[in-house]
Structure 1
Amino acid sequence: MRSGAKVAVIGGVFAVVVGGVGYGAYNILDGLGDSGVGGGTDTKATSAEVKTGPVTKQEIAETSKKFLAAWAKGDAAVASRLTNNAGDAESLLTQYSESAHVTKAVITPGTPTGSKVPYTVSATVSYKGRTKAWSYESDLNVVRGLTTGNALVDWKPAVVHPELRADETLETGEASTASIEAVDRNGQVLSKEKYPSLGGVLDELRKKYGAKAGGTAGIETWINSANADGVDRTLLTLAKGKPGRLTTTLDARVQAAAEHAVKQFEESSVVAVEPSTGAIRALANNRADGFDAARKGSVAPGSTMKIVTAAMIMQNGLGGANSPVECPSRVTWMGVPFHNLDNFSMPNPTLQTAFARSCNTAFIKPVSPLGDKADSALREEAGEYFGIGQEWRTGVVTVDGSVPASKGAETAASYIGQGKVQMNPLNMASVTATAVTGRFRQPYIVPQSLDNRVFAVANPLPNGVSAQLKQMLRYTATAQEGTATAAMASVGGDKGGKTGSAEIDGHATSDSWFTGFSNDLAAAALVQSGGHGGTAAGPVVAEVLRAGP
């Protein structure tokens, strides 16, 4: 035990308190300096006999005990040598006390599951006379050292805090940007506590518009982003600054519905926009990795892309909503076969009924007369009329869709939302909004007047095209044969929809897509590995639309 250590009782267990930093849950007689179980970082072995095989329960218990005790005592050097990456570990553990200004930490381990040991950290952060409690949960894994054979903590930044990533650092001090009080379009306060999906959005808005909103900075503990263009993430507020008020386009009622809707399915995301203005009304995610796929995702959109394909067919004189098309079970494009789901076929369909049933072959076969132009026609349609691939200055970071140049079979695949086509729910909600109003209006989450940023623009759809697209979407969501009818049954008003399923390499189950509108609200959802569009993404979109006007 270090000089000056004293014994305290915390929560009914002994804790070692050294220099103001404590460790709870183990008896004070547990040593840290022996060379037995968990002894040392993964450097060259000093013994002729190197242990192999999985770590044992005893090794897991002893190694985690010693590591957590050393960390809680503020001994970064000792703790780091109990990991398989001493250099990185010591740097971050040192920051914990020196940069993050943690003056006390009581770490209470939970019950191990295999090699994973969960624990709760109850810390105190102090900076310039400001002190605040800080509690959170994380976990570590114990592994066998490759060189020594010793049991070691498998080092990763998340051991220190679950939100830490590679090359990120912890810091406590005066915040670099003023805090904001973000409100929805009706003045209702938006917080990450009430609307968890907005955490990243609010952080980005604060970084970009905090100064403009007129607030003052407070004292906080935060994670410095590893990306120069990234957003620092606040973990604890010791002293609040004066928040500046920032009005967004979000609608608290629709946002609440979106937050609830995505909880129906894992790996789901949804976005809602207002077609008449482009205003983003809601966005939400339910993903294990925390990624904001709703606005940053980039995956194949499946048959929801047929909205753009249908517009391209109409504008190139290849057919209209009521024109007859062919829907065989299979077509071949440059020697590559394309099938309908379960190889279904339709006798004498129109483009509208083929759209409603989501017939793949009906959206590939009509394009062949374009010849060499087939490779570029969809890309041009998406960019010139739907704003896809342009730079959308929404007020936060977004990925704005992509229809890359294609050749051969990739061209045919792109017409049914596969191949190289990449979208996210924000893109597809905007596509639907454009289809039903006839004009692309760039999505945005804060007013353009806030910083006079330039919005992306596109040509209006030619007369009649928008009307036919809206007719097809309505039919798909109301006709008995429509793939969107079941999902949209509970949605009222003037409504329409389109299902989609996208096959992803390496995934046993396709991604589920759905996009639709009701009155002046359009929404799109993605449920990765969710299967058919109507069964997973469909109910998510329906719940969001029901919250609209």
Structure 2
Amino acid sequence: MRSGAKVAVIGGVFAVVATGVGYGGWNLYNGLTGSGTDDGVTTRSAPKETGPPGAEDVEKTAKDFLAAWAAGDGPTAAQLTNNAAEAEPLLTGYSEDAHVTEAVIEAGAAVGTKVPFTVEATVEHDGVSKPWSYSSELTVVRGLTTGRPLVDWQPSVVHPELTKGASLVTQEASAPPIKAVDKDGVELTKEKYPSLGTVLDELRKKYGAKAGGTAGVELVVTSEDPNVPDSTLLTLTEGKEGTLRTYLDAGVQAAAEKAVKAYGRASVVAVEPSTGRIRAVANNPADGFDTALGGAQAPGSTMKIVTAAMMLDKGLVNGPGSSVECPATVTWEREFHNLEDFSLGTTTLQRAFARSCNTTFIKPVKPLGQGAGSALGETALKYFGIGAEWQTGVQTWDGAVPASAGAETAASYIGQGKIQMNALNVASLAATVKGGAFRQPVIVPLALDGREPATAQPLPAGMAQTLRQLMSAAATGEGTAARAMASVSGSKGAKTGSAEVDGQGDSNAWFTGYAGDLAAAAVVDSGGHGGDAAGRVVAQVLNAR
């Protein structure tokens, strides 16, 4: 703000220091309380103002709000927002729960209705104090009923990591710190491997006590969801680390982190087919929701791995050389197309899979009749464990292939409709084909807490051989995955995919593949054809094995 106002907390009692303005500390917000309006603040009879708040309103509202907050008057500060009921607990808890005893809040120049500010604070607990600094911002809007300028309430005003239902608390940590290491004992840190941030937080919450450490005192963001681990903002008293061995591979993880950074939104997971052990998890952006493990998106034509398995299981085809039709279009309540309406005429299942012919994986399934709507989900669960409750060691979305009807059934065979997967699920599809059986992915040993893994029937020998041959054809020669897999050595297989998303110009790009004893899958939002963006991510990860 132009005034350069500063707000301070001294010795546990909030006060205001103002520079270049004509206000005393306690007078900055005098007269703002009393009988109020729907927005919770007093106003004199005056015509309701409309339109965005002007510069003076923005400056004064921000200044008054910061002053009331700094004065330790949570109720008054809350009344200066457009949601006092939600704002008051966080504003009051800043001193009572977070134990902030000293702070200087300095506002920067407003940009329109947004006002950035910095906080230099001291947090104290049981005689131990530590400095704490961060930046945030607020936005000034008009109250809906009064037209009065108010701070648009968001928990992130108090701290950028706060979300609805979360709170700031300084307390003994809910779990001891851990030193997480990979399969070879290499330490895994958030700083070096930022995509592992949420994974490491959850591993600490679940296994910190089992790893042999002792808890310290921390300022944390806590969630109302008991499954969401605390996020540490400041450590006042160091605890004693316990060592937790994971199945991650630091080299593969580093390659995964580098690969996803090439795209705005991308995720990748690598799994060892012979054991189900998760070797890497990476997202870009690296902070926030873990899309790689928890996302739920249509997987596009990577789902043809399961559709092919279903067709084999139902006797609709009997091997890679089976004769199939690949017309440009096929109708199942609505018309479905191949990419650019290509046609292969009468061809083999292997060539249709390699070229990712949509119509081949819709037309032959019509004879299933009423069972067509549930057959795919039954196969996904029976052989690939999709839809079972996976016990990986952290929270995951374990895929969904719900029953469908009409055109939605046809769409599901090519990975659209109601089907929802993430990179972990699709990597497991490829790992199941390579290994011949579903092995539930795991990130830490099952023995740590006696978890019972999800199980599925092994692929029949003929089915496994056929699926491997189909994926090999896709990864070589004229296959849609050949260009992306060209740099990957050894026996390999792959499948491309692209998934249309309503309101999104370009399709999401999907790709899964394996080489040696490593399988991986990636999704790149708006990446277009799977062999392009997502294929490059998977190839980089497989080449790190």
Please confirm whether the aligned pair reaches a TM-score higher than 0.5, indicating the same fold. yes
Tell which deviates more after alignment, 152-161 or 78-87: 78-87
The one-letter code sitting in structure 1 at the alignment partner of 2:456 is A
Q: Report the equivalent of 1:523.
A: 520
- Conserved in 2, the CA contact under 8 Å of 1:14 and 1:27? no
Q: Report the equivalent of 2:145.
A: 147
Tell which deviates more after alignment, 313-322 or 264-273: 313-322
Deviation, 1:470, is 1.5
Q: Report the equivalent of 2:260.
A: 262
Distance 2:406 2:134 in 1: 53
The one-letter code sitting in structure 2 at the alignment partner of 1:501 is S
Q: Report the equivalent of 1:194.
A: 192
Task: Output aligned runs, 1:214-225, within 5 Å.
Answer: 214-225=212-223
- Conserved in 1, the CA contact under 8 Å of 2:194 and 2:286? no
Distance 1:487 1:114, change over 3 A: farther
Percent identity at matched positions? 62
Q: Report the equivalent of 2:330.
A: 331
Unaligned runs of 5+ in 2: none
1:231 aligns with 2:229: yes
The one-letter code sitting in structure 1 at the alignment partner of 2:163 is R
Distance 2:16 2:68 in 1: 8
CA RMSD, 1 decimal: 2.2
The one-letter code sitting in structure 1 at the alignment partner of 2:380 is A
The one-letter code sitting in structure 2 at the alignment partner of 1:483 is T
Deviation, 1:83, is 1.2
TM-score w.r.t. the length of structure 1 is: 0.92
Q: Report the equivalent of 1:495.
A: 492
Task: Output aligned runs, 1:33-52, within 5 Å.
Answer: 33=29, 42-43=39-40, 45-52=43-50
Distance 1:28 1:116 in 2: 20
Q: Report the equivalent of 2:505.
A: 508
Q: 2:386 aligns with which of 385, 388, 410?
A: 388
Q: What secondary structure does 1:131 align onto?
A: strand
Unaligned runs of 5+ in 1: 1-11
Deviation, 1:186, is 0.9
Deviations 1:91-136 (A, max 9, x none): 2111111110011122233343332222222221111121111122
The one-letter code sitting in structure 1 at the alignment partner of 2:490 is G
Tell which deviates more after alignment, 394-403 or 351-360: 351-360
The one-letter code sitting in structure 2 at the alignment partner of 1:32 is L
The one-letter code sitting in structure 1 at the alignment partner of 2:298 is A
Distance 1:15 1:503 in 2: 50
The one-letter code sitting in structure 2 at the alignment partner of 1:535 is D
Q: 1:432 aligns with which of 424, 427, 430?
A: 430
Q: What secondary structure does 1:419 align onto?
A: coil
Q: 2:415 aligns with which of 414, 417, 421?
A: 417
Aligned residues: 533
Q: Report the equivalent of 2:532.
A: 535
Distance 1:494 1:29 in 2: 76
Deviation, 1:289, is 7.9
Distance 1:22 1:251, change over 3 A: farther
Task: Output aligned runs, 1:255-294, within 5 Å.
Answer: 255-287=253-285, 290-294=288-292
Q: What secondary structure does 1:172 align onto?
A: strand
Distance 2:135 2:437 in 1: 48
1:29 aligns with 2:22: yes
The one-letter code sitting in structure 1 at the alignment partner of 2:543 is R
Distance 1:215 1:326 in 2: 62
Q: Report the equivalent of 2:470.
A: 472
Distance 2:130 2:305 in 1: 53
Q: Report the equivalent of 1:8.
A: none
Deviations 1:228-287 (A, max 9, x none): 333222221111111111100111111111112111112211111111100001111114
The one-letter code sitting in structure 1 at the alignment partner of 2:505 is A
Deviation, 1:66, is 2.6
Task: Output aligned runs, 1:124-143, within 5 Å.
Answer: 124-143=122-141
Q: 1:86 aligns with which of 84, 87, 97?
A: 84
Q: 2:367 aligns with which of 369, 379, 382?
A: 369
Distance 1:117 1:509 in 2: 35
Q: 2:52 aligns with which of 51, 54, 59?
A: 54
Q: Report the equivalent of 2:205.
A: 207
Distance 2:208 2:91 in 1: 31
Distance 1:420 1:237 in 2: 44
Deviation, 1:34, is 5.9
Distance 2:360 2:298 in 1: 19
Q: Report the equivalent of 1:300.
A: 298
Q: Report the equivalent of 1:347.
A: 345
Q: What secondary structure does 2:326 align onto?
A: coil
- Conserved in 2, the CA contact under 8 Å of 1:25 and 1:108? no
- Conserved in 2, the CA contact under 8 Å of 1:308 and 1:378? yes
Deviations 1:123-174 (A, max 9, x none): 2111112111112222211111112212111001111111111122111011
The one-letter code sitting in structure 2 at the alignment partner of 1:156 is Q
Deviation, 1:543, is 1.7
Distance 1:25 1:336 in 2: 68
